[in-house]
Amino acid sequence: MEGVEDLETQPSPKHGEKNSSLAEVVRSPRRKERQGKSPRRRREVKRSQRRLDDQEPLPCGRERRRLLGQPEHREPSASMAETSDTSPKTWDRCRRSHFLHGPYPATHFGPKACILPNPTSVMHIQDPASQRLTWNKSPVNVLVVRKVRDQSLLEPFKELCKFLIEVLCISHYLIICLGGDGTLLYASSLFQGSVPPVMAFHLGSLGFLMPFKFETYKTEVAKVFEGNAAITLRSRLKVKVVKDALQRTGRSYGDEENGTVAQAETDGDAGKVTLQLQVLNEVVVDRGPSSYLSNVDLYLDGRLITSVQGDGVIVSTPTGSTAYAAAAGASMIHPNVPAIMITPICPHSLSFRPIVVPAGVELMITLSPDARNTAWVSFDGRKRQEIQHGDSIKITTSCYPVPSICCHDLVYDWFESLAECLHWNVRKKQTQLTDITDDSDTET
């Protein structure tokens, strides 16, 4: 064989001489394989795996990119075994468990800040309480967004900006919102990629997503700038509107026997993508100005699930489950739950209840072939447009969540908003009986 001939033609090293680069070149592949399976090699791998459980969270930035790259081939040593054998495999496991503990093993918000998961929960569902905001280096930019057409917020806006510039003398990769929930929705829509951490002050109407009080803004902002703040990663929806994606024929767009859609009819290249954006709350498809029922087909991963006949359908994130979906009768989901909620609007059916599907699926909404009218779609209440026969709306979970800074922690803040804003489970308490004996259950 070629490898054996090369090995025989080269002179053997002298006794006691260390392995030179020439000996490394002519070493046969079988010998290298035996070396990788040696007991010493296995012990080094086990020791490096034990070190992984005790080490600090993996770094981000240039160091993280170096760990994710292919390692340079060298003679196996303790340091090299730890880098090449554990780190890439660890990140592979993170990618395979994508939707178990969030969109990214380490979510980045620009070159200055990142959210690191708990390294002990790589193969398990991540504890949301371990999501913390830390600053690796002092950033340089800040974005302050206030509610429009509200002159009462002008003075708080000036006061906050003056405090950031003159007192702290620093500015961060941070979004500060002054207003209501609509202000936060608008601020997040400015970033169609990675979103900086958002700090929201309640100066609007409802304020379900605004946990901070403006009266204590100096203390709260200073605490966030120091780092180690609790974070809620609010997932968003990635939405694409494709025109003429389906064949405009008189037959059904799907296979009536097994409910699947033909590949040629669902290919995104067949149509023109007219709109693509990130949505924080919900995508609403309704009947618009028509008096007829809305009749749309709902597909999940290319398979026809059902047809919605009613006023429309809502596809929402867990954050949006407390908005329009809650008014339509859906359950309220904590924003850290990786899921997509599908809620019909006034369905003409007694058995059509809201459902929750995994965050990793792709939904597609089209007009039914026998629909009497067109449909209309809106995204967080914006960019409303008409959907005709042959058009499709493709929805999946985005890989760019909105990191919302918590006032206390992500569990307490959510339940406090339920109680304060929506008056969840509020009723007069039952009074205690003065006599514990129930006369109706005793014999006379």
Task: Give me the active site residues, please.
Answer: 181
Please tell me the distance from the alpha carbon of residue 366 to that of residue 363, in angstroms, as a whole number.
10
Cβ–Cβ contacts within 10 Å for residue 161, how many? 15
Please tell me the distance from the alpha carbon of residue 125 to that of residue 440, in angstroms, as a whole number.
51
Contact 138, 170 (CB under 8 A): yes
**What is the distance, to the nearest Å, from the Cα of residue 299 to the centroid of all Cα atoms in its chain?**
22
C-alpha to C-alpha distances, 142 to 132, 178, 351, nearest whole angstrom: 19, 14, 49
Contact 216, 224 (CB under 8 A): no
Please tell me the distance from the alpha carbon of residue 152 to that of residue 114, in angstroms, as a whole number.
34
Please provide the DSSP assignment of 219-266 as one string.
HHHHHHHHS-EEEEEE--EEEEEEET-S---SS-SB-TTT-BB-HHHH
- What type of residue sits at position 183? T
Strand partners, 142: 174
**What is the distance, to the nearest Å, from the Cα of residue 345 to the centroid of all Cα atoms in its chain?**
25
C-alpha to C-alpha distances, 34 to 6, 17, 28, nearest whole angstrom: 19, 21, 10
Nearest alpha carbon to residue 79 among 47, 35, 36, 120: 47
Strand partners, 410: none
Angle between helices 39-54 and 78-96 (to 10 degrees): 60
- Residue 292 tokens, joined: 């007829």
- Residue 380 tokens, joined: 């967080």
Q: How many CA atoms lie within 13 A of 53 on its CB side?
A: 5
- Residue 342 tokens, joined: 């599908």
- Residue 337 tokens, joined: 């739950």
Contact 253, 369 (CB under 8 A): yes
Contact 316, 343 (CB under 8 A): yes
Contact 101, 126 (CB under 8 A): yes
List CB contacts of 20: < 8 A, sequence separation 6 or more: 13
